[in-house]
Amino acid sequence: MNKFRLNQILEILTFPYTDTGLIQKDALAEREDAYCAYLDHTERFSVKGRGETSKRYEEAQKNFGKYLCRICSGRPKSLDDVLLVGEKFFSHNRITEDMSHKWKGAARREMVVKCYIDNIFWIANSLLTSRDGILAIRTWKNKAGREFPEDILGTSSAFDKVEIWNTLTRIVTPDLFLAAFVAMNGNRMEMFYK
């Protein structure tokens, strides 16, 4: 796997856990808010409002792409490339499937935060396992399930998973994913102490 590309993908995946400025300005939350405003005007058949919210959404989408380009340590190929990676991990469908279009403001932002938390568990489920009660790197591909449709990066090679884990732990502390894995498996705290 190309190390530059892997690093770029993981930086985009983990931006919610590494960017301290996210508390003040969350480009993804702004994009989703603009998208939902567009959907609201579309449902009401408001032509004028739909045109304005469409422009607002396009601007928010572009700002989100620029933000993703800024957080990448290397120079991305293109804005579209970065937006496609962002859409894989933070898609409109995942965020809005739980969201009623009638929700406003803070409740919509909570759906973005829920997506951030869901990704923590998705990463943990894809990359970690328990062998004899001890946490270990999962070197095989998970079967598609109801909660997680596939591995987070869709890889099946044992070497790739180890490389992904090593790169991931250089970007963000692994404790976040270890705690999520333990929580997913019944809070068996003895997994931490062996």
Dist CA 163 CA 10 (whole Å) = 11
Count of Cβ atoms closer than 10 Å to residue 148 Cβ: 17
What's the half-sphere exposure (Cβ side, CA atoms, 13 Å) at 191?
A: 21
pTM for this one? 0.82
pLDDT of residue 192: 55
Angle at which helices 3-13 and 158-171 pack, to 10 degrees? 60
Beta bridge partners of 137: 128
- Cα 43 to chain centroid, rounded: 28
Closest C-alpha among 123, 134, 125 to residue 169: 123
Low-confidence stretches of the chain (pLDDT < 70) are 1, 43-48, 98-108, 141-149, 155-159, 187-194
pLDDT of residue 120: 93
Q: Residue 150 in 3-state DSSP?
A: coil
Dist CA 28 CA 9 (whole Å) = 16
pLDDT of residue 62: 93
Angle at which helices 79-89 and 3-13 pack, to 10 degrees? 60
Q: What are phi and psi of 161, to 5 degrees?
A: -65, -40
